[in-house]
């Protein structure tokens, strides 16, 4: 579904060029569960942000469903992001002045009626055990609850792929397990592909495909993450 070919990303600052990604080739297949590990600063988030079509590569190609992505065409990028990609970060990044329900409804496709939007949102919130808090302001949620809302928000338009950047990084072990369970169950239910960047070896080892990123390159696809 997402094919990345000979990808390079270089950041330029006052001190010169910083070559972060150096010739990445990676295919994310439909329904596949991929985990990505690697030392801090090796470019995991940069790679995920490029796969999420949020960051333009310095060179190389990204194909989404066999179509070459043109990073200059903001409108088509926007459409792909909205309809095909679900994004989850370490922090829930909810909009503080809105309720739980409003946060979930906000990214929904504008073609839907308000009634459909509301019932879909409530159904999804119910699935993660949080519909009783739909009218609450998101500021009142715990970290684990907020992350569950963020997952629901990422799912509203039935994405083909869920890209997660350290989705449990800010949670205690109990909430971390719950969020992982939810992500795995979501993949099963919706048949989406799942990509998780993590520093947690236990989570990393759950992946069907485990990718090690180091020194700007994919070092290999590991049986387990002992070596990271």
Ligand X SMILES: Nc1ncnc2c1ncn2[C@@H]1O[C@H](COP(=O)(O)OP(=O)(O)OP(=O)(O)O)[C@@H](O)[C@H]1O
25: left (phi over 0), alpha (psi -120 to 50) or beta: beta
Residue 100, SS3? helix
For residue 25, the minimal CB distance to ligand X (Å) is: 18
Paired with 22 in beta bridges are 8
For residue 198, the minimal CB distance to ligand X (Å) is: 9
State which residue, 46 or 134, has the beta carbon closest to ligand X: 46
* End-to-end Cα separation, the chain, in angstroms: 27
The site map against ligand X for 119-158 (x = CB under 6 A) is: ----------------------------------------
41 near ligand X, judged by CB under 6 A: yes
44 near ligand X, judged by CB under 6 A: yes
* CA–CA dist 156, 118 (Å, integer): 11
* Positions 18 through 37 that interact with ligand X (CB under 6 A): 18, 20
Pick one of 34, 45, 186, 198: the residue that binds Mg ion (CB under 5 A): 45
* CA–CA dist 97, 88 (Å, integer): 20
Nearest to 145 by CA among 129, 167, 164: 129
For residue 165, the minimal CB distance to ligand X (Å) is: 7
Pick one of 15, 16, 40, 110: the residue that binds ligand X (CB under 6 A): 40
* CA–CA dist 228, 210 (Å, integer): 11
Which residues of the chain form contacts with ligand X (CB under 6 A)?
A: 11, 13, 18, 20, 38, 40-46
């Amino acid at each position: 579904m997402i094919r990345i070919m000979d990808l390079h990303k270089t950041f330029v600052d006052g001190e010169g060029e910083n070559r972060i990604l150096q010739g990445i080739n990676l295919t994310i297949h439909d329904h596949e569960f991929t985990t990505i590990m690697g030392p801090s600063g090796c470019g995991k988030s940069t790679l995920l942000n490029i796969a999420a079509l949020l960051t333009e590569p310095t060179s190389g190609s990204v194909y989404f469903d066999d179509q070459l992505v043109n990073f200059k065409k903001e409108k088509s990028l926007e459409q792909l992001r909205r309809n095909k990609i679900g994004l989850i970060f370490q922090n829930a990044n909810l909009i503080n002045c809105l309720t739980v329900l409003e946060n979930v409804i906000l990214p929904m496709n504008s073609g839907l009626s308000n009634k459909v939007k509301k019932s879909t949102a409530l159904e999804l919130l119910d699935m993660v055990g949080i519909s009783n808090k739909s009218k609450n302001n998101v500021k009142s949620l715990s970290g684990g609850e907020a992350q569950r809302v963020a997952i629901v928000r990422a799912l509203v338009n039935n994405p083909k792929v869920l890209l997660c950047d350290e989705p449990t990084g800010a949670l205690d072990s109990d909430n971390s397990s719950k969020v992982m369970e939810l992500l795995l169950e979501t993949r099963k239910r919706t048949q989406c592909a799942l990509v998780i960047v993590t520093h947690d070896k236990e989570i990393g080892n759950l992946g069907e495909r485990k990718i090690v990123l180091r020194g700007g390159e994919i070092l290999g696809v590991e049986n387990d993450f002992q070596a990271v």
